[in-house]
Chains A and B, each alone.
Chain A
């Protein structure tokens, strides 16, 4: 049992749930306390100790039955048993009509035979189940296994058999009954496949070592990130944000350069009999105001998304922020973030603004900005552009960008491209460079984090 729990924990980890050593120790002592006899208490004792995040609860609920079986798939029923001889003959005759493989499958369904473990393994091998290590592939894998079993053909064949049998004059009531049973049998087989797929994937997940990966991912260029990598990074962003937050908070606390705070000074020096040994100053908040303009075309999406996620996690360190996204035109996307995670918000925006090929137009987007939102930039604002400066040979509208840069306190450009590529092809980056105060090349998450950290240091 212990081994099973350990496996379960590592599957949780690779499913993206953070489980520390201390927490797994807690899980064991909780299980010692409540025992494993009562399934529900067992589940709850694992859940309360291992999962500390409402968002991870679904992962837990999905994996738990896969490891500590929710019970068998519904049993299959044998139809052949209660057939009369005449009926059996008719059936045998009808079955003759089909090819070897189909017939085997049909007979299996009629007799209500489950798939054996070896058969399941062979099927899994065939569809590449051993490489799958993400539960999102579960349904897909199950479907592929069904296809390998020719489920669709079998279903059609069953239909035909039923018709044949009806022609041969089998009792209609009887036929309906058979049809229903066969339907149920197919359903149970399907469930069996599903469970097998889930269990296999869960076990593959348990064997993975997620910790090694995140380090590598931090330094992997955005272009080389797959969707599952992004999933992991999204969680990483939250951790980084927490880290940055406490660092920034400390920094702001120490950066007290404001006026004398008379009340606090008196209070602090009461212990010295009112002699002001320690001078207290009023806090001075240096929280920046941000306007972020993000390119969310296909090439830039990962970078922009992570940037926005970071910023929105750090919302409380920023006095005000406005986010805009553009591909061929500009949209105000701050409202999308209310109550949403950054990736969901970006998805929403992408639905409104489907990316086309070669449609990025920063010039036009800047025009939009200056028409509608120029007032979001004032002398306290830091303007951040996340983009590669590739403009598809459209007008870069440097005049507008100059105006924006002049209005803002400082202008920061984050570009994931290598500096040597700037100015090549349709890149207008070199034209924008002289207008920005700071340009950072950020092609990995660690660079991005460093950039955001920099951003919030800002001296007044």
Chain B
């Protein structure tokens, strides 16, 4: 196996993913390594924004492979995912080549003869030349090994999922006019799902499963340090601790890692020196994207602060109704 396009061990997987600024824990590294060894697609599930898509990018980056991405959505079908004939181009060519065709057909003795001659030329119009390759076919026909990312598979319809099965288990595609096209290199396939609906058993059976949850305090801190190195260490820890505690509260949407990073970046940009109330109040909306969540958290923070010093509490209480009025 080529050294540049495959991981040799679990340790190497961790290190080279780390080289792509992706901090992989043992679980992630082991599963990625396994999926490569067994040649099985990797199905990653977990809350939004924990770095599922990022993982595919990191794998592609660390193996030096190019990444082919298929974003799923409701109504996605084969013509968008696999291939489509370029009708317009075919039509155009038929028009332009009309003279040529007439030459070919000239001198045909009978209708049958003409039809036979035409049949001989048919291949010209149903060749790769007129085949519009979509992500799946591109991944299969690629001359060099690639990483195929099928993003948010849960958004696609159940029928599409069934259709994926053929591609994912055999890495071949049958195009009726051309026959079966086989993969030159078996791509590494990463599927992501936000678990908005149950995926079919058949699809799951063909994949290895990796559940990525929110990271632990230390892991998240590592990520923040790596991606936002400008944030003071003390601040970073405080910020991550706050985010972690927010995930314990019952919210409509918990802040994800990417939101933590955005927030950290915001703190750097605003030159904040400590996580005081004012900073929090102005930047909390980076973390929380629902008005009700925002209000709930502010109330809780207000209560927490109230224990430290009573003077501010009154302040805060006045603040809150005013905010609320503005919101309403």
- A232-282 contacts to B, CB under 8 A, are 238-239, 241-242, 245-246, 249-250, 267, 270-271, 273
- B71-97 contacts to A, CB under 8 A, are 85, 87-88, 90-91
- Decide if A48 touches B31 in the complex (CB within 8 Å): yes
Residue B300 is within 8 A (CB to CB) of chain A in the complex: no
**Chain A residues whose C-beta falls within 8 Å of the C-beta of B195 in the assembled complex:** 54
Known: A29-B38, A49-B208, A271-B87. A245 touches B27 (CB 8 A): no
CA distance A47 to B26 in the complex (A): 13
Residue B210 is within 8 A (CB to CB) of chain A in the complex: yes
Residue A447 is within 8 A (CB to CB) of chain B in the complex: no
CB distance from A201 to the nearest CB of B (A): 25
CA distance A273 to B90 in the complex (A): 10
**Chain B residues whose C-beta falls within 8 Å of the C-beta of A238 in the assembled complex:** 198
**CB nearest to B195 among chain A residues:** A54
CB distance from B205 to the nearest CB of A (A): 5
Mask: chain B, 17-40; 1 = CB below 8 Å from A; 0 = not = 000000000110011011101101
**Chain B residues whose C-beta falls within 8 Å of the C-beta of A33 in the assembled complex:** 34, 37-38
- A335-363 contacts to B, CB under 8 A, are none
CB distance from A91 to the nearest CB of B (A): 47
**Chain B residues whose C-beta falls within 8 Å of the C-beta of A34 in the assembled complex:** 10, 30, 33-34
Most chain A Cβ neighbours within 10 Å, of B158, B159, B162, B204: B158
**Chain A residues whose C-beta falls within 8 Å of the C-beta of B206 in the assembled complex:** 22
Mask: chain B, 26-69; 1 = CB below 8 Å from A; 0 = not = 11001101110110100101100000000000000000000000
Contact residues of B: prevailing secondary structure: helix
**Which of B26, B45, B200 interacts with A54 by CB under 8 Å?**
B45
Known: A23-B205, A41-B10, A52-B43. A249 touches B158 (CB 8 A): yes
**CB nearest to A253 among chain B residues:** B159
CA distance A319 to B224 in the complex (A): 42
**Chain B residues whose C-beta falls within 8 Å of the C-beta of A273 in the assembled complex:** 91
- Decide if A242 touches B34 in the complex (CB within 8 Å): no
A-B contact pairs, 26 of them (CB 8 A): A18-B201, A22-B206, A33-B38, A34-B33, A40-B30, A41-B30, A44-B34, A45-B30, A47-B209, A48-B35, A48-B208, A48-B209, A49-B209, A51-B209, A52-B43, A52-B204, A52-B209, A54-B46, A54-B195, A57-B211, A242-B200, A245-B158, A270-B87, A270-B88, A271-B87, A316-B197
Closest A-B pairs by Cβ, 7 of them = A52-B204, A270-B87, A44-B30, A48-B208, A52-B209, A48-B31, A246-B158
B-contacting residues of A (Cβ < 8 Å)? Answer: 18, 20, 22-23, 26, 29-30, 33-34, 40-41, 44-45, 47-49, 51-54, 57, 238-239, 241-242, 245-246, 249-250, 267, 270-271, 273, 313, 316
